[in-house]
Amino acid sequence: MTTVTRIGATRRWSMLALGVFAQTSTAVMTNGAPFLLPSLTQRGMSLATAGLLVAMPLIGLCCTLIAWGWIVDQVGERTALVAGPAIMFVTGIAAACVTNYVALGALLFLAGAGGGSTNGASGRVIVGWFPKDQRGLAMGIRQTAQPLGVAVGAVTIPAVAAAHGFSMAVLVPAVMAGLAAISCLVGIVDPPRPESAGGAGRPMNPYRGDSTLWRIHGVSILLVIPQATIWTFGLLWLHRDVGMSLAAAGALVTGTQIVGAAGRIGAGIWSDRVGSRLRPLRTVAVMAVISMAALAVSAWAHWWWAAIPILVAASAITVADNGLAFTAVAEIAGPYWSGRGLGIQNTGQNLAAAAIAPAFGALITASGFPITYALAALIALAAVPLVPRGSVPLVPTGSR
């Protein structure tokens, strides 16, 4: 009896749902904290200080992703999926109770550090419990957690802060994280791992003597730049250059998030059907180049009739690589290294995405949106030859 058949299909999908809920709840804090800016500035805080404060959860996340990956590899994903949200719950409750801004920043940092556990987790659960022809779909669904968290944060945090104050708004992600911790404690089961080298010795480091994982990380870092460019500046471009109202632009951007989530799932299904993660990844990279270049041309020519649908298409294309790359990393790294592999993957992508706002913000100020979109296309072009070629097995060997 194989590992996959030792657990029912309903249980597999329920664990996937718990993984999505856990990361969605932590993403409300780490990615939704900027929605607290209006509340903080209304309290008299400068925009620069408020910006630093709401960045603390994401900074905490970036600082702990690899460490959480190590914990996943050593003690299992269930422990990480329980401990991390529990830390966010406790520190979030404490953050809602303090009035000192230094203490608040420290607690938000710790909350983000706890949230880092959910980013790299679920990879081994998916690879261990799902058959190989469903893993792409499962990981595509798993990758919808971040946009779902942003959407929940956008809907709840500003409204709660306006009606009940800053403290109550912080409680929203804290309570969600607490529920996630309890749910994962009850519902997550770590898949069994094969003995390494017949039970003797340490599993071989998959990063030594093989550049495949490093190349996938590099591809993902390059491809997150056009993705972050659209997410960060799409609303501003639609309002300032295209002339849409903020309400209409916001509705369109929200729609692109839904399209992007669907794109991740579609890419996962595609990879399952062709039996490869890397061939679709290369195609997505090429499509990202084309869509960003088309967006640059249409923005430069003021062809708004073409630019808006291109923006929607680019929003789906530029995020479609996420699930493909994550699935490939989890499968290639194997059951003893997938946590650290996904930790490295997440760290590189988050650091690159964090640099987009200041770097490309300055470029837009100096040269405008068309040049910025063109540069994003060139960066995506650099990712195309970096995608590994050849046959990469979908099933990890287990003992490496």
Residue 345 has pLDDT above 60, yes or no: yes
The pLDDT confidence band at residue 171, using thresholds 50, 70 and 90, is: very high
Residues in the chain: 400
Distances (CA, A) of 238 to 32, 160, 225, 251, 361: 21, 27, 19, 11, 15
Residue 257 has pLDDT above 80, yes or no: no
Q: Provide DSSP, 293-359.
A: HHHHHHHHHT-HHHHHHHHHHHHHHTTTHHHHHHHHHHHHH-TTTHHHHHHHHHHHHHHHHHHHHHH
Calculate mean pLDDT across residues 116-120.
83
Q: What local confidence, expressed as pLDDT, does residue 198 receive?
A: 45
Query: 95-104: per-residue pLDDT in tens?
Result: 999 888 899 9
Q: What local confidence, expressed as pLDDT, does residue 222 receive?
A: 96
- Of 97-101, 248-252, 274-278, 382-386, minimum mean pLDDT range: 248-252
Question: What does pLDDT average to over the chain?
Answer: 84
Residue type, 261: A
Residue 290 has pLDDT above 90, yes or no: yes
Q: What local confidence, expressed as pLDDT, does residue 83 receive?
A: 95
Q: Provide DSSP, 119-156.
A: HHTTHHHHHHHS-TTTHHHHHHHHTTHHHHHHHHHHHH
Q: Would you put residue 340 in left (φ > 0), alpha (ψ -120 to 50) or beta?
A: alpha
- List the helix and strand counts (H, then E) for the chain: 16, 0
Calculate mean pLDDT across residues 118-141.
80
Calculate mean pLDDT across residues 229-247.
81
Q: What angle do CA 305, 309, 314 make, to 5 degrees?
A: 140
Greatest pairwise CA separation for the chain in angstroms: 65
Residue 33 has pLDDT above 90, yes or no: no
Q: What local confidence, expressed as pLDDT, does residue 201 receive?
A: 53
Residue 256 has pLDDT above 50, yes or no: yes
Interatomic CA distance for residues 330 and 225, integer angstroms: 22
Residue 2 has pLDDT above 60, yes or no: no
Q: What local confidence, expressed as pLDDT, does residue 52 receive?
A: 79
Higher per-residue confidence, 264 vs 385: 385
Arch. (CATH architecture) of 4-191: Up-down Bundle (1.20)
Q: What local confidence, expressed as pLDDT, does residue 390 receive?
A: 58
47 three-class SS:
helix
- Of 17-31, 217-231, 338-352, minimum mean pLDDT range: 338-352
The pLDDT confidence band at residue 397, using thresholds 50, 70 and 90, is: very low
Q: What local confidence, expressed as pLDDT, does residue 396 receive?
A: 43
Residue limits of CATH 1.20.1250.20 in the chain = 4-191, 212-386
Classify domain 212-386 at the CATH class level. Answer: mainly alpha
Interatomic CA distance for residues 262 and 16, integer angstroms: 16
Higher per-residue confidence, 76 vs 292: 292
Rg (CA), the chain: 21
CA atoms within 13 A on the CB side of 294: 19
Are 322 and 264 a contacting pair, CB within 8 Å? yes
Which residues are within 8 A (CB) of 397 and not within 5 positions of it... i.e. 6 or more apart?
334
Q: What local confidence, expressed as pLDDT, does residue 202 receive?
A: 59
What are phi and psi for residue 119, nearest 5 degrees?
Answer: -70, -40
Q: Which two tokens stand for residue 138?
A: 């499962």
Higher per-residue confidence, 192 vs 107: 107
Q: Is 46 exposed, middle or buried (0-12, 13-18, 19+ CB in 10 A)?
A: exposed
Are 115 and 89 a contacting pair, CB within 8 Å? no
